[in-house]
Structure 1
Amino acid sequence: MDMETFLLETPPVVGSKSLTMAAKRYTYCGGDAARDGVTLLMFHGLGQHESSTTPDSLDLTVYQDKEQWEPVIEKLYALRSDTARSPQIREAWPFDWQSHGESAVLNEKALEDGPDSACMWASAITGFIKSDVVKGHRLVGIGYSSGSITL
């Protein structure tokens, strides 16, 4: 599986600021680009996290971000079959909300003025969908919790 990171400037929603949205594009590294396959757009939940410590007192706080989709993407590519009846994945794109994960670090200064909103994330995704990056792709949206609202 190949991975490439993208930093996308998001269009501002009325009365808001433009923020950066981090995304990753995963493709199958077996040589077949699966041009007829679907492109998955994946959205994480918001505000939930798990926190625990190991016996060595290591903090294992897990926040919602695009990297949480990596085990799912790996499994989907592992299930890939070359038979015509098997659905093929062209690309998989997990996104960070602008105030989560890598995006939060990139937007730290802009977010000091106040939080972003689900509308801003939806606007960013709409801008991405209309871009040339996925022009001609068959898109399938996948989200859970607040990430599904973006769809």
Structure 2
Amino acid sequence: MSRIDYINDPGAPAANSVVPSVVAVVQNDRGQVLLIHKTDNGLWALPGGGHDIGEFVAETVVREVHEETGIDVQVVTVTGLYTDPGHRMAYSDGEVRQQFSICFRARPVGGELRTSEESKEVRWVDPADLRDLSIHPSMRLRIEHALDPDRVQPYIG
């Protein structure tokens, strides 16, 4: 299923759903960030996805990171809540979601890099190289907030 992201676009379709979702900023021992090259919009992103009924939110993080990357993680902390009504994602099936994403920091505890239906490429990226990748502005904001050494409170917005 394909997807188009809109941010503050007056021509964007109206949202018809809100789905709680998670993303994780996972850094290895060398400080590299785990990223996926998404199949739905062709952009680089943090691994993550929708929260399922019956899960604790930390379980969602662990499941989604493993499903999309093959890496097993342990959740460390929350770095932000992102609920901008101006950020909408239009899917090819007609669903238009308003953003509702919780960003976590997590650390790798095992697994091996691999792709999935949602990730055509998975890699560890040096933070200095992030500017060279095609990353949606909302995802870039999550990464910047999570990597900011001066931020002591989660972002709420």
Instruction: Give TM-score, length-normalised by structure 2.
Output: 0.27
User: Which structure has more strand as a fraction of its residues?
Assistant: 2
Instruction: Give TM-score, length-normalised by structure 1.
Output: 0.28
